[in-house]
Structure 1
Amino acid sequence: MSEPQQVVAGPSTDSAPEFKVYKPSDVVAAAPPAVLPDEYFTPTAADLRAAQSQLAARTQALTNAPLRLKTTREAEEKAKRDRWPNTTIRIRFTDRTQLEKVFPSTDKIRSVYAFVRELLREDVKPIKFILYQAPNRDLKVSDLKVRDLTLAQLQLAPSSVLLIRFEDDSLNGSHVPAPLITNVLSQAVDLPRPPEVPDMVPSKGPTSKIPASSSSSSGEKKVPKWLKLGKK
C-alpha cells in the first residue's frame, strides 16, 4: 500500500495583489473649463460673511483646543476610527506612476514606508526616501511627532496622496521612471478618469444688480414715479 502523497498547495486563486499600480497619466490637461465672467470672482456680501464666520470658528477652535478634555479627544478619535477603519494611501512618484494600498487606520507611517521599500528595485532599496504631502509636510519615521501616531491621527484617513522624494536626487526627475521592480510595473493599469464636469457657468445666486441693459436697449427710458414727483 503506497503512502498518501503530500499535496502541495498551489497559488491561491484569490491571492490577488494587495495593492494597485497606476500608469503615468498621458492626459496633459483636462478640457478647458468654461470662461467665467469677472463678476463671478467678486465676493458678494454673503460670501464675505460666510468667510468671516468660518475664520472666527477656526480661530475659536484653535484657541480652545488645548482646553479640551482628554476624554473628549479620545471620543472623537474613536468616532473617526469607527467611521474610517481603513485608510487608502496612494504614493505618487515623480513620473506620475502611482502605488495604492489600503491600510488599517491604526497602522503607523512605518507600515507605508515598508510597503514602498518592498516594491523598489534591489539597487534602489538601500537609498533613503521621504514620504511627504505638498507643499512641505514631511512624514519622516525619525520624527517623534510622526512615527508614534496612527494614520488616522496623522489626518490621512480616509484617503491621502503622498509624494516620494529620494535622497539621491537623480531619482527625482519628472522623466525618471519609477524605480519599481519589473513585476510590479507589469501590473500597472490606466488611472481611472475623474467624472466629467458639466460645461456650464455656475450661478452665484440672486444678486441685486440693476439691469442697465434693459433701459438702454429699449427706445424709451422709463422714469421712476418718485423721480417724476420730484421734478414738479
Structure 2
Amino acid sequence: MASESSSNPPSIASTADAVDRQIKVFELPANAAAPVEMPESFYKLDSSELKKLYQSQMEQRQKLENSPLKTQKMRNAEEQERMKKYPKTTMRIRFPDRRILQATFLSKEPGKYSILRQNL
C-alpha cells in the first residue's frame, strides 16, 4: 500500500500548503490619482460596433460547430498546456480605505476566496 500512495501525484490540497502565498498589503498614497470615470456614452455601442460584435460571435460559433469533438484526454492535454503557461495566479483586492491585499495561489487550487477571507 505504501508504494501505491507514493506513486500517486500529490493532491492540490497538499501542494497548496507548500506554496508561498506571498501575502502582501499595500496602501495607496493619499495623493494617488483617482480612478477615471467614463461617461455613459462610452458604454453605448453604435450600429457598426454591434455588427462587428455580432459577426465575431457568429464566426466563433461556426468555428466551434465545425470543429471536431474532443475526447477527455485531448481536453486534459490542453488544460495541462494552459497550466504550464500560468501555473500561479495573483489576486488583488482593493478596499475602500485605499489598501490592497495581494496573495499568490496555484491556478488550479480550490478555495482561493476562503483563504483570502481568513486574511481580512
Shorter-chain TM range is 0.5 to 0.7
Greater fraction helix: 2
- When residues 92 and 64 of structure 1 are mapped into structure 2, their CA distance, relative to the original with a 3 A threshold, is farther
**Match 2:27 to one of 17, 20, 23:** 23
Name the counterpart of 1:77: 79
Q: Within 5 Å, give how 1:88-127 maps onto structure 2.
A: 88-108=90-110, 110-117=111-118, 119-120=119-120
Pair member with larger Rg: 1
Q: 5+ unaligned residues in a row in structure 1: which ranges? A: 1-16, 33-40, 121-232
Task: Give the CA deviation at 1:64.
Answer: 7.2
Q: CA deviation at 1:55?
A: 0.8
Distance 1:54 1:60 in 2: 10
1:113-166 Cα offsets, whole Å, 9 max, x none, are 22431x23xxxxxxxxxxxxxxxxxxxxxxxxxxxxxxxxxxxxxxxxxxxxxx
Deviation at 1:63, TM superposition (A): 5.4
Higher-RCO chain (CA-CA 8 Å, sequence separation at least 6) = 2
Q: Which runs of 5+ in 2 are unaligned?
A: 1-20, 39-44
Report the residue type matching 1:114 in the other structure. Answer: I
How far apart, in 1, do the equivalents of 2:113 and 2:78 lie?
Answer: 24
- Identity between Structure 1 and Structure 2 (%): 26
Q: TM-score, normalised by structure 2?
A: 0.52
| TM-score normalised according to structure 1 size | 0.31
CA deviations over 1:56-82 (Å, ceiling 9, x no partner): 1333466579x4321221122111101
Output the CA distance in 1 between the equivalents of 2:53 and 2:59: 10
Distance 1:23 1:53, change over 3 A: same
3-state secondary structure, aligned to 2:104: strand
RMSD: 3.8
SS at match of 1:116: helix
- For residue 28 of structure 1, give the secondary structure of its aligned residue in structure 2: coil
**What residue identity is the alignment partner of 2:85?**
R
**In the TM superposition, what is the alpha-carbon distance from 1:88 to its structure 2 partner?**
0.9
Alpha-carbon distance in 1 for matches of 2:51, 2:113 = 42
2:6 corresponds to which residue? none
